[in-house]
Amino acid sequence: MPTVLILGASSDIGVAIAKKFASRKFDVLLAARKPEQLKPLESDIRIRYGANCSSLFFDALQYDTHAGFFSSLLPKPDVSVCVFGVLEDEDQAFDDWKLTEKMINTNFTGAVSILNTIAKDYIAQKKGTIIGISSVAGDRGRASKLIYASAKAAFTTYLAGLRNKCFKENVHVMTVQPGFVYTKMTENQPLPKLITSTPGQVADIIYNAYLKKKNIIYVKWFWRYIMLIIGIIPEFQFKKMKL
């Protein structure tokens, strides 16, 4: 059976992706900062889908452990999904460098560190798929998501570059741009129902896109056009808007 690695498996989207791949006969490696928390998910995946499943310690901010983490994996994952991310209170983060730094380092630096490691291995083997969960927030900078959006923008750009670098090596890189999703991260925000997805829907769309080897997907699809419209507002106008 093929194996999928979920980096950030305690997040709602991480759980949904793990279950989706397990239901399609993948073995699952769950990685998170508190792997002991993942024991119930581990048993759930084993019992529901008959898949092998184990939980591993992984901390996006401990860059120097990343190479060791990946080389210890057995079996090596055929698909690696980078789901982890953090959204802090932007007003607080603007005042507190520690929070800003944490958002940048989790959403961008940590992701680059582990995905570089994985990409090197995949390139050497001439196979593998990397799926990075970025955000539509990264498509245009704005006040209310100042740091989160810029870190995600950097991550989106990194994934595009990595896709380009890996293409000739038979390694596929997919960028996922979710819009609003009902998760822990957004549970205190009033989200408009019509354009908000559930983690299960996100996972279904990601799995289908993986099968079709898509490059960039928006979840749901209309977010591509929402962001397109937002993208063409001239900056002289955009900067005056309260976003």
Partner 1 sequence: MDHQHLFDFVLTRRNHIQQMKKQIANWGNYPVIESNEEFFAFPEQLQELLAREETFIPRGNGRCYGDASLADTTISTLKFDKILSFDVSAGVFESQSGLTLDQILEVIVPAGWFLPVTPGTKFITVGGAVASDIHGKNHHVDGSFSNHILEMDIVLASGVTVNCSPEINRDLFEATCGGMGLTGIISRVKFRLKKIETSFIRQKQMKARNLEELIGLFDEYRDYTYSVAWIDCLKKGAQFGRGILLLGEHADIKDLNENQKKNPLQLPEKKQINFPFNLPSWVLNVFTVKAFNFLFYSKNFKKEINRVIGFEPFFYPLDAILHWNRGYGKKGFVQYQFVLPLEAKNGLIEIMNRISDKGIGSFLAVLKVFGKQESIISFPREGYTLALDFPVRTGLLEFLDELDQIVLQYGGRLYMSKDARMKPDVLRHGYPGLNKFKDIVRKYNPDGKIHSIQSDRLFLTTN
Contact with partner 1 (CB under 8 A) among 90, 101, 169, 204: 90
Site membership for partner 1, residue 226 (CB under 8 A): yes
Length of the chain: 243
User: What is the greatest pairwise CA distance in the chain?
Assistant: 56
For residues 124 and 121, give the distance between their C-alpha atoms in angstroms, rounded to a whole number: 5
Q: Are 223 and 183 in contact (CB under 8 A)?
A: no
Contact with partner 1 (CB under 8 A) among 48, 98, 127, 239: 48
* Token code pair at residue 211: 């099968």
Quote helix, strand, coil % in the chain, to nearest 5.
Answer: 55, 15, 30
Q: Are 101 and 53 in contact (CB under 8 A)?
A: no
Site membership for partner 1, residue 24 (CB under 8 A): no
Nearest to partner 1 of 124, 143 (CB atom): 143
Site membership for partner 1, residue 43 (CB under 8 A): yes
Q: Site residues for partner 1, window 183-222 (CB under 8 A)?
A: 184, 186-192, 195
Nearest to partner 1 of 167, 222 (CB atom): 222
Q: Interface residues with partner 1 (CB under 8 A)?
A: 10, 12, 15, 37, 40-41, 43-44, 47-48, 89-91, 142, 144-145, 184, 186-192, 195, 226, 230, 240-243
